[in-house]
Amino acid sequence: MRYDRLGSAANFDQLYDQRVRNAAFEWLASQCAVHGDVLPRRPLLEGGFEFQGRRIHLVGPQGIFKPRTMAVPLSITTTPAGPYNDAFGPEHFLRYRYRGDDVDHHENVGLRTAMAYHLPLVYFHGLLPGRYFAEWPVYVVGDSPETLTFSIEVDTRKMRPAAVPMQVRESAAARRETALRRQYVTVESRRRLHQQAFRERVLKAYRHQCALCRLRHEELLDAAHIIPDAEPEGEPEVRNGLALCRLHHAAFDRFFLGIRPDYTIQVRPAILLEEDGPTLRHAIQGLHGRRISLPRRHSDRPSPSSLSFRYDRFLEQAATL
C-alpha cells in the first residue's frame, strides 16, 4: 500500500475495509454486552476476532493501530496517564496526538488517509492499566501539523457504506447535519468518559466491593459521588467517591442513611423505627453505627470535608422527613 503525503491511498480495497470495520464494530458491541463498556486489553482486545479465516487484532504496541490485513488504521488508543480534559479541544473536538513529531510518519499518514476516505475508527480510552473505554465510530475530521494533532469526532452510527472521499458522498447540507450531530455526541462522549474513569478508579480503590455491605459482584456496584457531580465541589475524584451496591447507592442518594466524617454510618431515625421485612432490617437498619470499609491507600479514602458537606445535607433531610 502506498500513500501520498495527504493520505490518498493506492490500491485501496474499499469493500474489504468496510467489511472488516463493520465486523469489528459488531464484535465490540457483543463484547460490551458481556463485559460492560470497559474492556480488558488482555486477552480480549489484543486477541481480537476471526474474520475470513484470519485474526483481526484491535490494539497494538503503538496508539495508532492497523491490523496486518488492512491498509488503513482501525483504532487509536490513549494511555491511562493521559489527561482527559486536554483531549477535548475547542468546537467539541477530541484531540489526538501524532505519532512522534514526524508529520510524514506512516502512522500519521494512515490517519490522514482515514480522514480523506471518511473511514470510521475505534477510539480506546485508557482508564486504568489494561482497562479501556471503547468509542466507535469516530472520525478524523481535522489535521494540524502545527500542533501535531488530529481532530476527532464521535458519531452514533455503527455501520457505514463503502469508503469514498467525504466530499463525494455528502452534500453540504448533509455535512452540516452530520457536524451538528457529532458535536452533540462528542460532548456526551466526554461525559461518559469521565463517568467511566471515575467508576473504574473508585471500584479499584475499594477493591471492587460495596463500602457498606462488601458485596463483590461488580455488575451490581456503582461509583457514587459524595458531593453530587452537579455541585461545583463535586469533582470526579476518588476521594469524592464511594463504591456502593445499587441498593445502598439509592439509600445514600435518598438520605435513608448518611456517613459521618469519622466514617460511621447513620440511618435516618424514622427509618430505624420502621417495621418491614428482612431487607430493611438487615440491609439498612443493621448498618446503623457501623463503619464503612475504606480503601487501603489513605490518599484514596473519602475526604472528611466532603463527608461533612454531605452529612449536613443528610441531617437537614432527616429533620424534615
Q: What are the pLDDT digits (tens) for 13-47?
A: 889 999 999 999 999 999 999 988 899 999 888 89
Distance CA(177)–CA(167), nearest Å, equals 14
Distance CA(243)–CA(301), nearest Å, equals 11
| Residue 193: predicted pLDDT | 83
pTM over 0.95: no
| Residue 189: predicted pLDDT | 74
What cell does 307 get? 463527608
Q: What are the pLDDT digits (tens) for 185-197?
A: 777 777 888 889 9
C-alpha dist (Å) from residue 291 to 17, 113, 310: 56, 57, 16
**246 Cα distance to chain centroid:** 20
Contacts of 102 (CB under 8 A, 6+ apart): 108
Strands 94-97 and 64-65: unpaired
| Residue 161: predicted pLDDT | 45
| Residue 187: predicted pLDDT | 74
Distance CA(120)–CA(134), nearest Å, equals 13
Q: What are phi and psi of 201, to 5 degrees?
A: -75, -40
What cell does 103 get? 508529520
Of 126, 189, 177, 195, nearest in space to 152 by CA:
189
| Residue 91: predicted pLDDT | 59
pLDDT < 50 regions, the chain = 1-7, 83-86, 158-164, 166-168
Q: Which residue has the cell 452530520?
A: 178
Residue 208: exposed, middle, or buried by beta-carbon count in 10 A (0-12, 13-18, 19+)?
Answer: middle
The alpha carbon dihedral of 90, 95, 101, 106 has a sign of negative
| Residue 2: predicted pLDDT | 47
C-alpha dist (Å) from residue 87 to 60, 220, 227, 240: 21, 30, 25, 23
H and E: helices and strands count for the chain: 9, 15
Give bridge partners of residue 97 from the DSSP assignment: 149
**187 Cα distance to chain centroid:** 12
